Homo-oligomer: A and B are copies of this chain.
Amino acid sequence: MDIRIIKSPSEGTINILLRRKGTGANTLPPCLDAVGLVQGKMIEMIVASDIAEKAVGVTVEEIKGSCPQNMILLAIFGETAAVEEALENIKRNWENN
């Protein structure tokens, strides 16, 4: 599982991510201060997505990979501190499994 954070992502980066959103809706996440990226096997990403969705103040999006139905990347948008905490939760759960 790979985890990265981009602070103050450029407009181009946000466009790359939003072009590949799993859900149809074209709405922007409410806060774009930072974006956390988590990449891994589908089973890990479903667990990570569940943890992130239970965190406060972040928006979770699946980013489509090489094929439309393969969720290999999660993008977690929000304020920097909120994104960092969500990534921390995912990492901690991962290390305890």
Question: Chain A 70-82 against B: per-residue CB contact (8 Å), 1 yes, 0 no?
Answer: 1111000000000
Task: Give the interface size bracket for A toward B.
Answer: 35 or more
Beta-carbon contact of B43 and A73 below 8 Å? yes
Nearest residue, chain B, Cβ from A19: B22
Which residues from chain B contact A97 at a C-beta distance below 8 Å?
Answer: 4
A92 within 8 A of B: no
Which residues from chain B contact A17 at a C-beta distance below 8 Å?
Answer: 46
Q: Which of A37-72 contact B (CB under 8 A)?
A: 37-39, 41-44, 46-47, 49-50, 53-54, 60, 62-72
A residues sitting closer than 8 Å to B (CB atoms) are 2, 4, 6, 9-10, 12-13, 16-17, 20, 22, 37-39, 41-44, 46-47, 49-50, 53-54, 60, 62-73, 97
